[in-house]
Every structure is written in C-alpha cells, then in structure tokens.
C-alpha cells in the first residue's frame, strides 16, 4: 500500500478554494459560537436595519467590537456606539478573537486583529444580495467569517455583480477567510432553505470579523 493511502481520507485543515479564499471546515466549536451570539444579543438587540434607499434589510444583524457596521437613511458606515442605545457595542470575546487571528495567520494574513464583528441572522427564505464590503479602511486585511446553525450556499462572483458564481457550501462551525483579490469581489448568500439545527433551530448565523478602523 502506498504511504499516502493511509491519509487519503483525512481532509486537510484548510483549503484554498480560489486566490485569497480559504475554507476551514468544522473548525470552530459550535457551542462556543452559540454562546457568543447569545451574549451579543443580550447586550445589544439584533435588528433589521434600513438601506440608505429606505428598504428593510431582510437579514437581521448586530455588532461586537470597537466599531459596528450600520446602515440607515444616512448611509452605510461604522459606528463606535449602537445608535439604538448610545452604548458601546459588546466587546469581542478574547478567545474567539485569538482563534480568528490564528486562522488568518495560517492563511498567510499575519497580525490580523479584528476590531469589529458583524453578526448576521438568517431565517428560512432569506438571502443576502451580492455586495462588496467596502466600508473598512484597509483592504489588505481579510474578512474572517464563521458560520453557525443551518447550512447555506455562499456565492462568489467577480468584480461584477452578475455572471457565473463560485458556490461554496458553508456549514455550522466552518471558518472562511476572504482576502487578497477576493476582498474586492461581489459575494452573497443564496436563499436559506428550511432546515433544522440542534442549537439554532431553523436559523443561520454568520459572524464576520473585520479590521474596520
């Protein structure tokens, strides 16, 4: 038997799916992430924001960190305090911050220290339209995403919104790094199917860790 056959069914810790896109499957402890989501939601309510054009955003969200992504009639931006309460956003717990920094370094992004985490919540039937995250100051920094709950298809387009997408299935506990050239590529999430997960029920959460300021 060839030596490699012994290892052929052991999947690698990390896979580079496209330049700048790295997937770590089932990398993070789901209960730890669930506890973090519940902590954040207890500190600051998860809410549906409004686009600058006045449309309700179907994905609900809330932030942690020194800055939180925000949208309303005044535009897309980062806010240092929660406009709903005037209070600072909940702190990013140190342990998850370290997990994110270590994963980013494994993908070649050294010294990535997130100062913002946006938590998205998806109900069945909700999708996230194609967008580029461009409210952060430094585009050389990646965004690190962690998924929790029911599965989703993450779609990556290119520099334009349409065309053929690369479809990346994301499952609970997966960590995805989105950096390099992909950082400026359109991406979105397909409509969430009705499914059930032992921790979150029919919901999907996604936590995106950013260097915003």
The residue ranges that bind ligand MD6 (CB under 6 A) are 120, 128, 133, 143, 145, 154, 176, 178, 187, 189, 206, 208
User: Which partner from the list ligand MD6, Fe ion, none does 176 bind, CB cut-off 5 to 8 Å by kind?
Assistant: ligand MD6
Strand partners for 189: 128, 154
Task: Please give the sequence-ordered ranges of beta strands (E in DSSP) within the chain, or none if there are none.
Answer: 15-18, 21-24, 60-65, 68-72, 75-79, 116-122, 128-131, 143-149, 152-156, 166-170, 175-178, 187-189, 204-210
Q: How far is the CB of 44 from Fe ion (least distance, A)?
A: 20
**Cross-strand bridge partners of residue 68:** 79
209 binds, among ligand MD6, Fe ion, none (CB under 5 to 8 A by kind): none
Q: Which residue is nearest to Fe ion (CB)?
A: 133
Question: Residues 62, 40: contact at Cβ < 8 Å?
Answer: yes
Q: How far is the CB of 4 from ligand MD6 (least distance, A)?
A: 33
Q: Which is nearer to ligand MD6, 44 or 189 (CB)?
A: 189
Burial class (CB in 10 A: 0-12, 13-18, 19+), 144: buried
Choice between 43 and 133, CB closer to ligand MD6: 133
Comparison of 43 and 135: residue with beta carbon closer to ligand MD6 = 135
Cβ 177 vs Cβ 109: under 8 Å: yes
Min. distance of Cβ 10 from Fe ion in angstroms?
A: 31
Inter-residue contact 125 to 139 (CB < 8 Å) = no
Q: How far is the CB of 23 from ligand MD6 (least distance, A)?
A: 11
- From residue 133 to residue 152, the character string flagging contacts with Fe ion as x (rule: CB under 5 A) and all else as - is x-------------------
DSSP 150: S
CB 178 → ligand MD6: shortest distance, Å? 4
Find the shortest distance in angstroms from Cβ 144 to Fe ion.
12
Place of tokens 């038997």: 1
Chain centroid to CA 39:
17
**Between 60 and 90, whose beta carbon lies closer to ligand MD6?**
60
- Is the Cβ of residue 88 or residue 202 nearer to ligand MD6 in the bound state? 202
Which residues sit at the interface with Fe ion, rule CB under 5 A?
A: 133
């Amino acid at each position: 038997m060839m030596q490699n056959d012994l290892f052929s069914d052991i999947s690698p810790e990390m896979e580079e799916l496209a330049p700048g896109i790295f997937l770590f499957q089932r990398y993070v402890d789901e209960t730890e992430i669930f506890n973090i989501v519940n902590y954040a939601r207890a500190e600051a309510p998860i809410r549906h924001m409004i686009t600058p054009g006045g449309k309700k955003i179907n994905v609900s969200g809330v932030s942690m960190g020194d800055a939180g992504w925000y949208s309303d009639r005044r535009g897309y931006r980062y806010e240092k305090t929660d406009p709903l309460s005037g209070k600072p956003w909940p702190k990013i717990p140190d342990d998850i911050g370290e997990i994110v920094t270590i994963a980013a370094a494994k993908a070649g992004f050294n010294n990535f220290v997130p100062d913002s985490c946006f938590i998205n919540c998806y109900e069945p039937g909700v999708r996230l339209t194609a967008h580029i995250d461009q409210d952060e100051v430094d585009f050389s920094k990646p965004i690190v995403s962690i998924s929790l709950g029911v599965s989703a298809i993450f779609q990556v387009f290119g520099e334009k919104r349409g065309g053929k997408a690369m479809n990346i299935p994301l499952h609970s506990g997966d960590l995805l790094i989105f950096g390099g050239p992909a950082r400026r590529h359109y991406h979105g999430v397909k409509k969430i199917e009705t499914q059930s997960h032992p921790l979150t029920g029919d919901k999907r959460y996604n936590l995106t860790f950013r260097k915003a300021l």
